[in-house]
Amino acid sequence: MTRYHANTDQEKKESFNDVPSQEEMSKYKDFGKLTHNYQRMTKPLYKRPLYKSRKGFLIIMLILLLLYLITEFG
């Protein structure tokens, strides 16, 4: 069995060649948001303050809660 499958539908191939209108393109031209997302993703987690990273803060809080419960009731 092959791992890859070539799509031969003409309808789908033609849709890739369509150029979006100016309105559709301008809807996605938010460079402020783009640079903010880029800077947020490229800056390492350990260099960010803990209160600015929700995921990191929640993970650390869950670990601390788990350790506390293990020491108290374990």
In this structure, is residue 23 part of a structural domain? no
In this structure, is residue 59 part of a structural domain? yes
Q: Please name the residue ranges forming H helices in the chain.
A: 10-16, 22-27, 31-42, 54-73
Supply the range of the domain harboring residue 70. 48-74
CA separation for the pair 16, 69 (Å, rounded)? 55
> What was the pLDDT predicted at 15?
61
In this structure, is residue 19 part of a structural domain? no
In this structure, is residue 9 part of a structural domain? no
In this structure, is residue 64 part of a structural domain? yes
pLDDT one-digit tens code per residue, 3-61:
877 766 665 656 666 788 888 888 778 888 888 888 888 877 677 676 777 888 899 89
Cα dihedral value 22, 23, 25, 30, nearest 10: 130
In this structure, is residue 60 part of a structural domain? yes
In the chain, how many domains are there?
1
